[in-house]
Structure 1
Amino acid sequence: MADHNDLGDIGEQMAADHLLKKGYQILARNYVYLKGEVDIIARIENTIVIVEVKTRSTPDFGDPQDFLKPAQIKRLVETAHHFVEELEEEDLEVRFDIVGIIKNRAGVKVEHLEDAFYHF
């Protein structure tokens, strides 16, 4: 496995740990539907939280969360919609978050952006 894949896996685990510490329940990781994949699907109270994790080893090229493109957002929304439909629960809110992680020799920085974007 390539180093960048290892870093991504480490970042996803760090994001899951961060969410658990904040009281979230992890419902799924790497949930796939058609061509879309959601890194983490979590729940807090009546809110389903769709989490995209962006991990980088350096902030030199911008914040990790700035790398989310419109096409990827569209796939996230479609995949999230499928997941929520399968839950068959009423009165659920859905929120899209980004957890940006920078991990390098200097340490680790975790930034959790709630309501990072609105679905369309």
Structure 2
Amino acid sequence: MAEHNDSGKLAEKLAADFLIGKGYELVETNYRHRHAEIDLILKHRGLLIFVEVKFRSGTGFGFAEEFVDSTKRKLLIKAADHYIFEKDWHNDIRFDIIGVYKDRTGNINFKHFEDAFY
């Protein structure tokens, strides 16, 4: 597996642990529907939350949230619609983005954007 894929999987694990530590319940990881993948699906306070995780080893090329463009959002929404139908979910939902940042000393930091789009 390519190094960037390894980094992405590690970032997803770290983001899941971060959210679980904040009281979220992990429901599913890497849910796929056609050409879309939802990194994390969690429940929190009665909401079903679809999370896109973006890893950055710096901000020289931009921040994580800037890399979720309209095409990516449409794919995520379609996959979420399929998941909602498949699981017969009737409560509210939310789309979040989590930026996982590794600084020069190797420390990991998170930026959590709740209700990022839709």
TM over 0.5, shorter chain: yes
| TM-fit CA distance, 1:86 | 1.5
Counterpart residue number, 1:114: 114
What secondary structure sits across from 1:4 in the alignment? helix
Deviates most, 31-40 or 100-109:
100-109
Q: How many residues align?
A: 117
Specify the code of the residue in structure 1 equivalent to 2:92: E
Q: Which ranges in structure 2 are unaligned for 5 or more consecutive residues?
A: none
8 Å Cα contact 1:7-1:56 kept in structure 2: no
With the length of structure 2 as denominator, give the TM-score of the two structures. 0.94
1:10-58 Cα shifts (integer Å, max 9, x gaps): 1000100011001111111000011111000001132000000000111
CA shift digits 1:64-106 (9 cap, x unpaired): 111111111000000001111122133x111000000112442
- Residue 26 of structure 1 aligns with an amino acid whose one-letter code is L
Letter in 1 for 2:102: K
Is the 1:99–1:111 Cα contact (8 Å) retained in structure 2?
yes
Give 2:82's aligned residue: 82
2: CA distance, partners of 1:65 / 1:7? 17
Alignment match, 2:33: 33
What TM-score, normalized by structure 1, do the two folds share?
A: 0.92
In the TM superposition, residue 108 of structure 1 has moved relative to its aligned partner by 1.3
| CA distance in 2: counterparts of 1:49 and 1:85, whole angstroms | 15
Classify 1:43/1:60 alpha carbon distance in 2 versus 1 (closer, same or farther; 3 Å).
same
Supply the AA of the counterpart residue of 1:24.
Answer: Y
| Correspondence for 1:96 | 95
Runs of 4+ in 1 over 2 A off after TM superposition: none
- Equivalent-residue separation in structure 2 for 1:27 and 1:98 (angstroms): 17
User: Identity over aligned residues, as a percent?
Assistant: 39
C-alpha RMSD over aligned residues: 1.1
Q: Which amino acid aligns with 2:95?
A: F
CA distance in 2, matches of 1:53, 1:26: 14
